[in-house]
Structure 1
Amino acid sequence: MKTPERRNGRPSLSRVHVRPTALCVAILAAAFSDGANAARLNYRLEGLGLHSDNINLSESDEQAETVFAPRLAFDFKEEGSAVEIQARGEIERRFYSGNAFDDETRSGFAGQLNWSLFPERLNLVVEDYLSEEPINFRDGRFPGNLQQVNVFVAGPTFFARFGDATRLKLDVRGADTYAEETAGFDSKRYGAAAALEHDIRSTSKVSLNLAYTNVDFDDSDPAIAIDYDREDAFVRYNGKLRNIDYELDGGYSRLKRDLASDESTAIGRATVQWHPDPHNRLSFRARHQFADAVQDIVLRLRDSDEVLIPDLMAPSDSLVTSGTYRQNYYDLDYRFSGERFGFRARPLYRKLRYVDPGNSDRTERALVFQASYRLRPRMTVMLDGAERRREFLTQDETDRDHVYGLAMEYQLTRHWGWRADVFKNDRSSDVPEARYKENAVQFKVWWQR
Structure 2
Amino acid sequence: MAILAAAAFAGSAHAGKLDYRFEVEVLHSDNINLSEDNQAKETVLSPRVTFNFKEEGASLELQARGELERRHYFGSRFDDETRSEFAGQLNWSLLPQRLNLVAEDYLSEEPINFRGGRYPGNLQRVNIFLAGPSFFARMGDATRFQLDLRGASTHAEVAPDFDGKRYSAAASLQRDLNPISKASLNLVSTRAKFDDAATAVDYRRNDAFVRYQGRLRKLEYEFDLGHSRLNRDVGEDPTTTIARATVQWQPNSRNRIRLRARHQFADQVQDLVVRLRDPDESLVPDLVDSSSSLVSSGVYRQRDLELDYRYRGEIVGFRVRPLYRQLRYIDRGDADRTERGAFFQLDYRLGPQVTMFLSGSLRNREFTSRNEEDRDRVYSLGFSYRMTQHWGWSAEAIRNKRTSNDPDQAYTENSVFLTVWWQR
What's the TM-score bracket when you normalise by the shorter of the two chains? over 0.9
The 5-angstrom pairing of residues 187-266 of structure 1 reads: 187-221=164-198, 224-266=199-241
Q: Which SS does the other structure have where 2:251 is aligned?
A: strand
1:22 to 2:17 alignment:
no
Q: Is there any run of 5+ residues in structure 2 with no aligned partner, and where?
A: none
Name the counterpart of 1:396.
371
1:261 CA displacement: 1.5
8 Å CA contact 1:185, 1:217 repeated in 2: yes
Please give the alpha-carbon distance, in whole angstroms, between the structure 2 residues aligned to 1:59 and 1:285.
36
Using the aligned pairs only, state the percent identity: 60
Contact 1:252–1:267 (8 Å) recurs in 2? yes
Does the residue aligned with 2:162 lie in a helix, a strand or coil?
coil
Check 1:267–1:440 CA distance in 2 against 1; reply closer, same or farther (3 A cut): same
- Equivalent pairs, count: 424
Name 1:6's counterpart in structure 2: none
One-letter amino acid of the structure 1 residue matched with residue 104 of structure 2 = E
Letter in structure 2 aligned against 1:340:
I
Give the match for residue 253 of structure 2: 278
**What amino acid does structure 2 have at the position aligned with 1:171?**
D
2:141 equivalent to 1:161 = no
Hey, what's the Cα distance between the residues in 2 that align with 1:275 and 1:164? 30
SS in 1 for 2:331: coil
Instruction: Give the TM-score, by structure 1 length.
Output: 0.93
The 8 Å contact of residues 116 and 122 in structure 1, kept in 2 or not, is answered as: yes
Q: For 1:395, what is the secondary structure of its paired residue?
A: coil
Kindly provide the CA deviation profile for residues 341-365 of structure 1, in whole angstroms up to 9, marking residues without a partner as x.
0100000110000111430000001
Unaligned runs of 5+ in 1: 1-20
d(CA) in 1 for partners of 2:364, 2:411: 15
Q: Secondary structure at the match of 1:260?
A: coil
Partner of 1:171: 148
Match of 2:408 among 423, 428, 433: 433
| 2:59 partner letter | A
Return structure 1 stretches of 4+ with deviation > 2 angstroms: 23-31, 313-316
Are 1:337 and 2:344 counterparts? no
TM-score, length-scaled by structure 2: 0.98
Q: Does 1:44 align with 2:24?
A: no
Amino acid at match of 1:96: Y
Q: Deviations for 1:87-143, whole angstroms, at most 9, x for unmatched residues?
A: 000010000000210101111000000001111110000000001100011111110
1:446 aligns with 2:421: yes
Aligned with residue 53 of structure 2, among 67, 76, 79? 76
Partner of 1:16: none
What CA RMSD, in Å, does the superposition of the two structures yield over aligned residues? 1.2
Q: Using a 3 Å threshold, how does the CA distance of structure 1 residues 214 and 28 change in structure 2: closer, same or farther? A: farther
Q: Output one character per residue of 1:40-73: Cα deviation in whole Å (capped at 9) or x when no partner.
A: 0000000000000000101011100000000000
Change in CA separation of 1:180 and 1:367 when aligned onto 2, cut-off 3 Å: same
CA deviation after TM superposition for structure 1 residue 26, in Å: 3.7
Aligned counterpart in structure 2 of residue 384 of structure 1, from 347, 359, 372: 359
Task: Answer yes or no: is 1:328 the counterpart of 2:308.
Answer: no
Counterpart amino acid of residue 170 in structure 1: L
Cα offset for 1:313? 4.6
In structure 1, what is the equivalent of residue 275 of structure 2?
A: 300
Query: How is 1:57-136 mapped onto 2 (pairs within 5 angstroms)?
Result: 57-136=34-113
SS state at 1:51 partner: strand
Alpha-carbon contact 2:288-2:363 (below 8 Å) kept: no
